[in-house]
Amino acid sequence: MWRDPGIPTDSFYEVRPDCTDVPKTRFKIKAGKTLSARRWKAAFGTEGYLDMASTISRIQRGGVHPTIRGEVWEFLLGCYDPKSTFDEREQLRQRRREQYASWKEECRNMDYLVGSGRIITAPIITEDGEPIQEPLVLLEANPDRGITPSHRNDHKTGDKLQENASTVSRSSEKVRDKKIIQWKLTLHQIGLDVVRTDRTLVFYEKQEHLSKLWDILAVYAWIDKDVGYCQGMSDLCSPMIILLDDEADAFWCFERLMRRLRGNFRCTESSVGVEVQLSNLAAITQVVDPKLHQHLEALGGGDYLFAFRMLMVLFRREFSFGDSLYLWEMMWALEYDPDLFSLYEDPSPGGEKGELHKVKPKSMRQFGKFERENLKNGGKNSDAPLPISIFLVASVLKTKSSKLMQEARGLDDVVKILNDITGNLDAKKACSGAMKLHRKYLKKAKKP
């Protein structure tokens, strides 16, 4: 019997030729399984209403074709209501673009580098609000391209220097507002992370793409004052820049993703938000694989900090770029809730999911498979349901259970064994494993 071998997605996310150790993608576009551009278009009615149930069913089977990934993700992440019309969505899109432009201008007024097409990787301000006037900082913020000492007296270069001097003087006064100081302190950290993010991709050889990523993260850090910017956010935002041409659309897609994950990034003096997820991971492993949990505790890994990165950036390091996108859309389709748009339609970004725990008289077909299991097995009770990402990590630990039990004699061994999975995981199998573990956990957790 002939089987469709599928088309690999490497060509859609071109890797630089000098990067030879990058994991190859395993995801293949398969006719009849992958959501194609033709099927996506056919899923809309004449007015624009989207048949979301059939769409998520198709995604759960074979992912999304890269050519339509950005617009599909906007629905999966709750940017748009499937029950809205083409006109309603276009009006909402324009309003959001205007809102983003307004926030970006607000940031530009605080620091002229926002929207300039440049990024910074050196601090520009002290914790007391004093601007840093070191030559290297000024050079990075105001590069005199093509100007050498021998040309300093040339009229054109003189004009250029005067223009740069005037922009520097706008930022040379002491800042007294603590919120602005805090925001400005994050700008160089964003820059440092941006220049390291997905640098194996040809896409980021263009400065305009790097600066777009920096601008979005700078704006987000300003509007979400509770969380600001934390390392790892650039990994979550980068795919949005690649998939959506318009910067504002990419921003809103990222903002909706952050509503799911921002709790992981919220820090206090004594804890990091992701510790709650790690604690849940420990509880799940204790239920589904008590011997492994006991072994990890004996090694001093009972806090599960070795899984920190997987949860923070949703397996971006463990998969190729293409496969990580496939994994994400599979997760979101499995977790899909038909009320996602109304839960997220909060005028102030930086919010989180609203109340998700009420079982509503809707067709179960409208929910993703993971959410259906929660509804059927009582996973949506007074406590917030656990996200599928935790079960994905638990599934990885389960598959490596015997190796960890036999070979791990310390935490370094645990980290080494888990690092070996990079490039060797299959996204669809990982999701299937997470679903099986989820069902097992819900059944065992219900027992006294």
Domains parsed from the chain with CATH numbers: 274-335+387-446 (1.10.472.80)
**Per mean pLDDT, which range of 60-64, 109-113, 176-180, 359-363 is the poorest?**
359-363
According to DSSP, residue 173 is labeled S
Q: What is the mean pLDDT of the segment spanning 146-166? A: 38
The pLDDT score that the predictor gives to residue 448 is 57
Beta partners for 29?
A: 7
For residues 408 and 299, the answer to whether their CB atoms sit within 8 Å is yes
The pLDDT score that the predictor gives to residue 142 is 57
| Rounded distance between C-alpha atoms, residue 156 and residue 144, angstroms | 12
The pLDDT score that the predictor gives to residue 174 is 86
| Rounded distance between C-alpha atoms, residue 368 and residue 389, angstroms | 14
Is the per-residue pLDDT at 43 higher than 90? Answer: yes
The pLDDT confidence band at residue 112, using thresholds 50, 70 and 90, is very high
- What are the pLDDT digits (tens) for 1-23? 444 556 777 778 999 999 888 88
Backbone angles phi, psi at 114, to 5 degrees: -65, 125
The pLDDT score that the predictor gives to residue 280 is 94
Q: What is the mean pLDDT of the segment spanning 252-277? A: 86
Question: What residues contact 367, with CB distance under 8 A and at least 6 apart?
Answer: 336, 337, 338, 375
The pLDDT score that the predictor gives to residue 171 is 56
The pLDDT confidence band at residue 138, using thresholds 50, 70 and 90, is low
- 374 Cα distance to chain centroid: 24
Q: What is the mean pLDDT of the segment spanning 67-92? A: 96
DSSP-derived secondary structure for 272-305: BTHHHHHHHHHHHHHHH-HHHHHHHHHTT-TT-G
- What are the pLDDT digits (tens) for 289-330? 999 999 999 999 999 999 999 999 999 989 999 999 999 999
| Rounded distance between C-alpha atoms, residue 184 and residue 178, angstroms | 10
The pLDDT score that the predictor gives to residue 5 is 57
For residues 311 and 386, the answer to whether their CB atoms sit within 8 Å is no
Beta partners for 343?
A: none
Q: Which structure tokens are listed for 299? A: 């090694």
According to DSSP, residue 130 is labeled P
Is the per-residue pLDDT at 170 higher than 70? Answer: no
| Rounded distance between C-alpha atoms, residue 288 and residue 281, angstroms | 11
* H helix runs in 361-410, sequence order: 369-376, 388-399, 401-407
Phi-psi region at 391: left, alpha or beta (left = phi > 0; alpha = psi -120 to 50): alpha
Element (H, E) at 28: strand 28-29
Residue listed under structure tokens 């629905």: 75
Burial class (CB in 10 A: 0-12, 13-18, 19+), 393: buried
Comparison of pLDDT for 166 and 95, the residue scoring more: 95
The pLDDT confidence band at residue 241, using thresholds 50, 70 and 90, is very high
| Rounded distance between C-alpha atoms, residue 53 and residue 35, angstroms | 13
Comparison of pLDDT for 175 and 137, the residue scoring more: 175
| Rounded distance between C-alpha atoms, residue 353 and residue 187, angstroms | 27
| Rounded distance between C-alpha atoms, residue 189 and residue 228, angstroms | 12
- What are the pLDDT digits (tens) for 399-437? 999 999 999 999 999 999 998 888 888 999 999 999 999
